[in-house]
Chain A
């Protein structure tokens, strides 16, 4: 009897066999430590079990042991790619309970740093996502290196403002910690003008690449119904046709003073999410320009200089403060009991809710698409695991 030839083996395969494959926890496309247990039929994924928690530090317990003056600089360690955002949510919650005024100059400085942070975060997302799709972009790391080059410029700005490049501790209850140094505003204008030009270059680079388009169009579609039901937010929600942005829907920190658009795309696929973020680069840059031009004079904090870490006391009460971070609604549910430390603090991590959509959208796709979909969700595991 002749041994079966290769083509016979292929023809005989009925596709009924299932294979379980571990993707992660150490996988280059995971953007951190994430394990997806994929059930495969041939090349097609039929089931996903997402395993998270590898970066868990129990921030919520930690926050109960740290004072309102101490925790903001720890909050930046939840979403370390957009450290400004989580500090922002925490101090907003404390200020809401304590009815603490924030001077207008501090509000504008918060807006400037939050928007620069969004640009930096989206740059890192674009670079790493394009690297995930590697070979299809003719060289893999090309876009990544361009993006990192631009992100460095923003980190330089943060360094000259705060002294740190990744985790800042810039926000504090009642205002911000530092005023901008001499010449910073001009340096900032120069940087954002440069980035503004280069965003167009990346768009040309990507949108004229048929491989990129083929891997992004129609892949990982999230319907509006699913998006709301799971509670995904930010570019993912707007990429599924929901016109919702907290900066517009519930303005905080003087966002009502600025002109900007809220981009939305109805398709809900990877390409829609890409388009949203590309448009958000320009809107953020627009907001930073307006805030720099209209920066009011005055104090940067309504609180006197701290003599001890327990000096900030927040009266009894509770609040849920939320900000529109680069990955969507970052919420801080805070319960104060009148002491210098919160009674309970709950993080609504945008990445946690966004990642929870994966088991709903991945089945039916090929393994290679899992990488594209996961990248398009832009999870930061510090924020997923908290």
Chain B
């Protein structure tokens, strides 16, 4: 598959998506299509390699999901994005599509407090189970006290 063919496919199947660039394709989809788009990228674009997923906190504009998947054979990559409405922190999980999303989404939950619906094992991964707060939110101050440590 070439990048031009991939661009046509994305346009046909996800008309509502915004597409920028082609290396990688930066595709912003409505959040309801998050999992459906991942499934499409895997099956139709051949992006079987799960690179990473994470989030960005845009303060009062809400959270943004980011994930990157690659087609290693044809050199096609998709950086998929979706915006959550302000105050919303739950969305579909990508684990049913990519097993690599398991740990990545656990980290995202740990750091941003996003609840991934359909995740088989959503619990903290890097921080301790009794940690309070989600450190990568912009509202979380770097010097937040944590007794008894500091």
Give me the interface of A with B, judged by CB distance under 8 Å: 52-53, 56, 58, 60-61, 65, 225-226, 228-231, 242, 244, 249-250, 320, 329, 331, 333, 335, 343-344, 346, 348, 352-353, 356, 360, 385-386
Contact = CB atoms under 8 A, between A and B. Distances in A.
Which one of A52, A250, A331, A356 has the greatest number of beta carbons of chain B within 10 Å?
Answer: A356
Contact of A53 (B54, B72, B126): B126
Contact of B72 (A58, A244, A331, A386): A244
Interface of B: 24, 48-52, 54, 56-57, 66, 68, 72, 75, 79, 98-100, 102-103, 111, 124-128, 135-136, 140, 142
A249 B72 contact: yes
A330 to B, nearest CB: 11
A234 to B, nearest CB: 12
A320 B79 contact: yes
Given A230-B50, A346-B52, 18 more contacts: A52-B125, A53-B126, A53-B127, A56-B127, A60-B136, A228-B48, A228-B72, A231-B49, A231-B98, A231-B100, A242-B72, A244-B72, A250-B75, A320-B68, A331-B51, A333-B54, A333-B66, A353-B100
Nearest to B79: A320
Contact of B103 (A58, A229, A249, A356): A356
A11 to B, nearest CB: 38
Contacts of A353: 52, 100, 103
B52 A348 contact: yes
Per DSSP, chain B at the interface is loop
A364 B127 CA distance: 30
Nearest to A353: B100
B136 A53 contact: no
Contact of A352 (B56, B68, B79, B103): B103
B126 A56 contact: yes
A339 to B, nearest CB: 14
Contacts of B51: 231, 329, 331, 348
A385 B140 CA distance: 20
Contacts of B50: 228-231
A224 to B, nearest CB: 9
Nearest to A352: B103
A343 B57 CA distance: 9
